[in-house]
Structure 1
Amino acid sequence: MNAIKTAKGLLRQELKAKLNGLSNEEKARQSQVVQKKVLHHDLYRKSQRLSIFLSMHDEINTDLILRDALDAGKAVYIPRYDSKSTYMDMVRLKSWEEYDALPMTKWNIKQPPLDQDREQALASGGLDLILVPGLAFTKAGHRMGRGRGYYDTYLAKCRDVQEHPPSTIALAFIEQVLPEIPIEETDVPIDIILSAE
């Protein structure tokens, strides 16, 4: 077990360095390719209730998808993390103006305050699609996150609560798709990995 944790730790450092080495232009170029792939994907087009992560500087930018989903009248949910635990919920975002007004967290991502009463996805009908961030992926659908387990915990909860669990699509820079990554039993596989290649 510890060997896997150690391997993951080293790989995380390596990937963070690699992603920090990408120019803003290259990140924007790859983000544009991946966002278009999402917008044209059947799972996205058919989705009515979906969760979209609000991207950090070293993740595929999701602004275009967020705007498109809101414009299309989909029910959009965004992650709300508790940095003191592994708790995360998905809460409703109703408009771009509301997104603009959200405060920033210490991770430099927008997020509604934890104490703010908001509609939660699993309490109001579940989700049919979750767009998933991460640090590393394999084409077979394995994912390595940032080590807190937010998404693995949430995806496991979706499978417990929903009769039909949501589909999952991970968004990745080409540099994040690897031949293999160390995995543990708690790591939930992702259905589809979309990258810019």
Structure 2
Amino acid sequence: MSATSLPEQKKALRARLRQARREVSATRGGELAARAHAHLLASPLWRQARHAALYVSLPDELDTAPLLDAAWQAGKTLYLPRVRQQYGLMDFVAVRGRDELRPGPFQLLEPRDELPGFGPEEAGSAFRPDVFIVPGLGFDRQGRRLGFGGGYYDRFLSAVRRQDGGCAPCAFVGLCYHCQLQEALPAEAWDERMTHICTDREWLCL
């Protein structure tokens, strides 16, 4: 058994995967993102979804802007995250276009403050998207996710599951470059698992 603690393993993996993602984004980001978009947009999961939860990508993440446009053009209800002042919590807000976004923390664009949102309290009940696209620094082939360390998505997705007896009431799709997909990741009890993984090379149903 490794003497390295789980938090230390995660910290080292985050640094390595962040660097790999940065290098890919700087060289082939547009090309590989387009391939990942094609996998997601061609899936029955996306085509049949009427309500989709997504996110606005960071500069070195796989670009989600074409997915936002695709959702709006298809007439889907699109929910985007807005971080609360209370650390570790966020709401998801229905957004009809880019004019309803404003700069937020973590270099992110977020829904404007006056727009109503759904928090973990409503997750799985009042707020129940058909598909939940989730960011991450890494994913593995068992659906494990390595997040950014703040716990925002784990808390929210856990609340979604609790409302449905521990099962995911909608699809949780991890979106990333293929270089971020690992064979296995270290995981803790509260780490939420994905039901699908989408990369520039693969569409995995788990």
TM norm structure 2: 0.85
Aligned match for 2:140, one of 138, 143, 147: 138
Q: Does 1:105 align with 2:100?
A: no
Aligned match for 1:193, one of 186, 192, 197: 197
Give CA-to-partner distance per residue, 1:128-156, whole Å, 9 cap, x none. Answer: 21001000111221111101111111111
- Which 5+ residue runs of structure 1 have no aligned equivalent? none
Report the Cα distance in structure 2 between the residues aligned to 1:182 and 1:125, rounded to whole angstroms: 30
Q: How far is 1:73 from its partner?
A: 1.1
Aligned partner of residue 22 in structure 1, secondary structure = helix
Answer whether contact 1:137 1:181 (CA < 8 A) is retained: yes
Q: Does 1:171 align with 2:196?
A: no
Equivalent position of 2:45 in the other structure: 43
Q: Number of matched residues? A: 192
Give CA-to-partner distance per residue, 1:99-143, whole Å, 9 cap, x none. Answer: 245221232210124x53414374644212100100011122111
Report the Cα distance in structure 2 between the residues aligned to 1:12 and 1:68, rounded to whole angstroms: 30
Answer whether contact 2:25 2:60 (CA < 8 A) is retained: no
Say if 1:189 and 1:48 are closer, same or farther in 2 by CA, change over 3 A: same
- Which 5+ residue runs of structure 2 have no aligned equivalent? 202-206
Opposite residue 131 of structure 1, the aligned amino acid is: I
Aligned partner of residue 170 in structure 1, secondary structure = strand
Report the Cα distance in structure 1 between the residues aligned to 2:114 and 2:100, rounded to whole angstroms: 14
Opposite residue 183 of structure 2, the aligned amino acid is: P
Of stretches 32-41 and 12-21 in structure 1, the one that deviates more from structure 2 is: 12-21
Q: What's the % identity of the aligned pairs?
A: 26
Of stretches 132-141 and 162-171 in structure 1, the one that deviates more from structure 2 is: 162-171
Aligned partner of residue 45 in structure 1, secondary structure = helix
Aligned match for 2:161, one of 156, 159, 162: 159
Report the Cα distance in structure 1 between the residues aligned to 2:42 and 2:93, rounded to whole angstroms: 25
Q: Does 1:70 align with 2:75?
A: no
Q: How far is 1:82 from its partner?
A: 2.7
Report the Cα distance in structure 1 between the residues aligned to 2:172 and 2:27, rounded to whole angstroms: 27
Opposite residue 172 of structure 1, the aligned amino acid is: C
Q: Which has the higher strand share?
A: 2
Report the Cα distance in structure 2 between the residues aligned to 1:31 and 1:137, rounded to whole angstroms: 16
Q: Does 1:92 align with 2:94?
A: yes
Report the Cα distance in structure 2 between the residues aligned to 1:179 and 1:103, rounded to whole angstroms: 37
Aligned partner of residue 187 in structure 2, secondary structure = coil
Q: Which has the higher helix share?
A: 1
